[in-house]
Amino acid sequence: QKEVEQDPGPLSVPEGAIVSLNCTYSNSAFQYFMWYRQYSRKGPELLMYTYSSGNKEDGRFTAQVDKSSKYISLFIRDSQPSDSATYLCAMSDFGGYQKVTFGIGTKLQVIP
């Protein structure tokens, strides 16, 4: 079993839809939870991160962490064609050097 599980998709939605992207994990030591966005033929870039449990909102994006279920989510409201990308969840435990474990990524396409 992988430490981080993520459905690779692809996920196709109409413009304006609410998108839900999810990951599960097995390592209870994970404390930092991140979402990276990767456009085609580009490197991943950090979209947002949360520490421990709870929600975090940034514009149209909301990240949720449920440590009791070992489940994290990223919601995108009013999705736009420019949101079409691969979204990778990533996690790390707390320490001097925090090795980051990435999910395989979910490919999202927002249809105009």
Partner 1 sequence: DAGVIQSPRHEVTEMGQEVTLRCKPISGHDYLFWYRQTMMRGLELLIYFNNNVPIDDSGMPEDRFSAKMPNASFSTLKIQPSEPRDSAVYFCASSLGGGSGNQPQHFGDGTRLSIL
Residue 28 or 41: the one with the smaller Cβ distance to partner 1 is 41
Tell me: does residue 105 bind partner 1 (CB under 8 A). Answer: yes
Least Cβ distance, residue 98 to partner 1 (angstroms): 4
- Rounded distance, CA 99 to CA 91, Å? 8
Contact assessment for residue 73 and residue 53, using Cβ atoms and an 8 Å cutoff: no
Contacts of 65 (CB under 8 A, 6+ apart): 33, 50, 52, 53, 54, 55, 71, 72
In this chain, which stretch among 9-17, 54-62, 75-83, 101-109 interacts with partner 1, using CB under 8 A? 101-109
Tell me: does residue 61 bind partner 1 (CB under 8 A). Answer: no
Give the 3-state secondary structure of residue 44. Answer: coil
Binding mask 6-45 for partner 1 (x = CB under 8 A): --x-----------------------x-x------xxxxx
